[in-house]
Structures are given as C-alpha cells and as structure tokens.
A and B are shown apart, each in its own frame.
Chain A
Amino acid sequence: MEKSTLTEAASAAPVAKTRGHMPAGLNVAVLGPFVALLLACIFFATQSDRFLTGGNLSLILQQVAVVGVIAIGQTLVILTAGIDLSCGMVMALASMVMTKLATEQGLPPLLAVLCGIAVAALFGLANGLLVTRIRLPSFIVTLGTMNIAFAATQLYSNAQTINDLPPTLTALGNTFTLGGTAVAWGTIVMLGLYALAWYLLRETAAGRHVYAVGNNPEATRLVGIPTQRVLLVVYVVAAILYGVAALLSVARTGVGDPNAGQTENLDAITAVVLGGTSLFGGRGVVIGSLVGALVVGVFRNGLTLIGVSSIYQVLVTGVLVILAVAVDQLSRRGAR
C-alpha cells in the first residue's frame, strides 16, 4: 500500500500530464515571433511586388546582419538574466579601432581587425568582472561602460570618419551569386554564427549552464557549476560578437563611423525581446533573436517599399516590443 502512494499522488496531479506534451522552450513566446514575421511578410507581399524578390530578401538579410550578430551576444547576456546596454557603443569603438589601425597606423588589415575585436573583448571582460566580482547589476555596469565606450570612440577618432579602407576590411560586404541572387558574405557570417550559437546553447553542457544560471543562480552554484565563470565568459563572448558585428558594419558601410551603433544598441535588445527571450533570464531560443531582428528589418524595408514614413516603423517596433514582453509576462504567470 505504501508503495503506491507516490504513483497515486503523481497521477492525481493533472498538471503534469496536460502540460507534458509541449517540449521545453516551445511556447507562445517562441512561436509568436515566427507568426509575426510570417504575417508581416504576407502583408508586404500583397502591398508591393518588389517585396518578395530574391534581391529584396537578400537586402533585408544584409541590413539586419549587424543587429543580428549583436543580438546573439545580447541573447546570451539576457539568458543569464542580465542586460548589456553597451553593445552598440562597444561595436562602434571596435570599428574605429580596426579602421584606424588599418589606415593611419598601417597595420595589416587582419591584425587590425583582431585588435578591434580584442578591444571589444576587454570591455566585455570589464562588464563581466564588475558584474561577478563586485556584484553590480548589469544594467548599471553596462550603462557606465556604454558611456565610456562612446566617449572613447569620440576621443579616439576626434569624431572623424575613417575613409579609404583596405579591401580586406570591406570583404564581407562583397556578394556572391546564389540562384541568380546576390548574397552578401556578411549574411553568411551572421547565419553561421546563429547556427553555432544555437548548437552550443542547445547541445553542450556549457550552453545549458547559461540557461541554468539565468533560471536560478544560487541553486546552480550549489549544484557545483561555477556560475561566476559562466557569467564572465558570457559577457566576454558577447563582446567578441560585438567586435565581429563591428567588422560587418565597416564592411557594409565602407567607412569607420564614430557615430555607428547608436540605433543598433537598442535595436539588438528589441530583436532579442521580440524573439521571445525572457528578460527575466533562463528562457528563450537564440534563433528567436534572428527572427526578432528580421521582424524589425522586414517592417523597415516593407514600409519603405510602400512609401510610408520610417517613423511608422519605429512606432510599430515600439508596439511589438511591449506586446512581446507582455506575452512573456503572461505566459510566465500561467506557468506559475
């Protein structure tokens, strides 16, 4: 009789059964952005003949590449229940470092790129150390480093744009032809990084630990996972991704722009939130951030095609962000 107590109790709890069919992580917050993207595409396809052409779709992908790569790093940070406000500014600083070193200092382009990414990584290290060692909230830390990176960019560049870049720095802006459509190499880099991040987060212990830290840092520490190291690595890897995004930005615009990164800063957070990753940490899928970035990109592109002021795109993005966070909040309340 005693033996059956547990099984009885378990079968008496209907929650376990009814919710059991859904694989972990697949819920409205994850599927929502796909539906939003699909609806937006259908809408613009009916409004403009040019929308669904290969050239236009390739252009959208190229346009979202910079925000898309930053959003990967931002996703990692947000999954740990943190936020990185410095992403865009760190990217801008990295792009100035690589362009300036490659032109004015005459460094080999590849070395210049590595130096730019290294500077970004140092900012990530600073963010990570302040968050883990001094236990400051990530919001405050990255608000500070955002301003520091911005000031450093302006001082270092004298607010001057860097022109006449060596071709290596802009190589990722070049295109190749795929089925009659020109595809930028930068797009391929972005998609490759998403695939890599998706694999690491889903299939490796290190990736699962990122989720665990975002879920319940104290319990995760007691389980024996070095949570501080996980956090530190996340901030550094995120910053390295901002450095890669800097290269994509330089390749796309063909210049080192000291005022880059200003829209990307919040656009990346928008993309992550739109993609269904919870700001409370521990929930979300990195591919969602790509979808989130594409939603913003599609609206920007589509509204331009049908001749609507770009202000409406900003308006729509604002509404979508609030909607996405509301859905996250409500689904969490439903799941207790």
Chain B
Amino acid sequence: MSALPSQAASSSPVVVMQARGLIKRYGHVTALDGADFELRSGEILAVIGDNGAGKSSLIKALSGATVPDEGDIWLDGVPTKFKTPIEARRAGIETVYQDLAVAPAMTIAENLFLGREVRRPGWRGSVLRQLDKKRMLEESVARLNELKVGIRSMTQPLETLSGGQRQCVAVARAAAFAKHVVIMDEPTAALGVKEGGMVLELIRRVRDRGLAVVLISHNMPHVFEVADRIHVARLGKRGCVLNPKKVTMADTVAVMTGAVRPEDLPADALAH
C-alpha cells in the first residue's frame, strides 16, 4: 500500500475518495492533465466545468468507465485501479447516468435489483435458480420508503412513471447499493423544475444517510442548492474547490470559464 498524500492532515473530515495527478490522453488531445480530486464522507461535491475541461473524463476515471494513463486513485485510503464500471460498483461506487431508465419495460422492483437479483432460499434457488420475487419486492418497498420516494406499486413497469420519478428510482437504486460513493451525472438535466426539485431533495437525503455524493451538473442553481463544495474542473486539472456559501454564482461561472483566476477571488470563497 503506497503512502497517502499528507494533504488531509489539517482537516478533520474523513476522505472517502481521492485522486492525484490523473492523466488521460486521447491521441493528441489531453483530456486530463494531472487532475486532483478529493471527496469527503457525507458531502455533496459538485463537479462543474466548461466543455472540454476534463469533467467527464474525471468522472469516467473515478467510476471505472475509462482507465487513466497515469495517476493514482484511493478509495478509503486504499489504492485502487478500476478497469470497468463493474469493478467500481463492486468496490461500492454507484453511478447514476443521465438517461433516465434502466429497463423501461421492466418493473420498478426488477430495475432496482437488476444485476443483483436475489434467489429463493433452498433448492428452488440453488437448483432451479428461481428468483425470490417476493423478497425483492418487499425490499424495494422498504428501500424506497426509507428515502421517502412515494411510488405506489413496485410491480408497474418503469415506463409508466414520470421522468422525475424514474430518476428517483435510479438514485434510490444507487443509494441502496452504494457502500461509499454515489456519482450522479447530470441527474436533473432532462427534468422540469418541479421534477428536478424532487430529485435534488432525494440527493440531499442520500447524503444525509452518510454517503458521499458526486454531482456533475451544468445547472448552477441546482449546484448551489445542494452542494457542500464545488470542484471546478479547468484545462484538464482541478482549477479550485469553492465554498458555495461564500462565493457568488457569477464568480463561480467566471472561474469556470477562465475569466477570473481562483487566486483573485476573496480568500474565503475557496473551500478547505
């Protein structure tokens, strides 16, 4: 086990996930140019950035969708190298993607348990491989109730739900199975105002249950509504980390686009 950077020495919060010097090149294009990343337990960290700032490459590296050329990632202090999203998932990192549905024609309960189906106990499960539909249904109800997602029937097809409800199911699915981190890639992008608010509220509840949440979003009001810290990706690096309580939306956008240098912001605008 390689040594951890000593950066977190002063701050008390527990660092769940950390990355140092991530580099990812696609041919002549350098998408990540030594990017750093730090995520603490029980926080919502928003990741923002202009197009081409390396935001999605960073997220892909963290969720196992791509393998960085160089750099290190630590999860709970342990160095990790994810080669596939499946490996990241096994390590307790769940990702919610922008496209709302997993399997639209399948039921909500089936969607929640897709890829982690529970088989019946005894010979019916081991020999006949029979699924324990009753138990999965009950657990689906319990999980969604825990997160206060008000959906009546777990046996209706996902496609009968509104966009916001579908996204709530996706978030609940991730929250229910994540051990460490939930990464959300533009979860509110396809939603209207009310539905977006519903999903934001749920994201907050996921955080309150102790999970670390990474929220990628273009929507500044949404970012400022829920984020505890804002990671600004710029030119393939981490430009700075901002404190949404002390920085204005206009300054944030200015830093993001390069109009203002992070050093020129008031000192308390930077998060620690």
Contact = CB atoms under 8 A, between A and B. Distances in A.
Interface of A: 2-3, 5-11, 13, 15-17, 19-25, 199, 203-206, 208-209, 211-212, 215-216, 218-220, 222-225, 282-283, 335-336
A220 B97 CA distance: 12
Given A5-B201, A9-B164, A225 B105 contact: no
B151 A10 contact: yes
Nearest to A211: B106
Given A208-B131, A219-B103, A223-B115, 8 more contacts: A3-B148, A9-B165, A10-B151, A16-B165, A212-B114, A220-B103, A222-B85, A224-B86
A201 to B, nearest CB: 11
B198 A208 contact: no
B181 interface: no
B43 interface: no
B101 interface: yes
Contacts, number: 135
B152 A2 contact: no
Scoring B97, B150, B155, B202 by chain A CB atoms within 10 A of each residue's CB, the highest score goes to: B150
A216 B102 contact: yes
Contacts of A219: 97, 99, 101-103
B231 interface: no
A84 B114 CA distance: 26
A2 B115 contact: no
Given A222-B85, A223-B115, A216 B103 contact: yes
B252 interface: no
Contacts of B194: 9
Given A5-B197, A5-B201, A6-B150, A215 B165 contact: no
B161 interface: yes
Nearest to A205: B117
B243 interface: no
Contact of B102 (A19, A199, A212): A212
Contacts of A335: 157, 159-160
Scoring B105, B119, B129, B130 by chain A CB atoms within 10 A of each residue's CB, the highest score goes to: B105
Contact of B114 (A20, A23, A199, A220): A220
Contacts of A203: 128-131, 133
Contact of A223 (B102, B107, B152, B164): B102
A265 B4 CA distance: 63
A20 B148 contact: no
B30 interface: no
Interface in B157-186: 157, 159-162, 164-165, 168
Contacts of B115: 209, 220, 223-225
Scoring B115, B149, B153 by chain A CB atoms within 10 A of each residue's CB, the highest score goes to: B115
A192 to B, nearest CB: 15
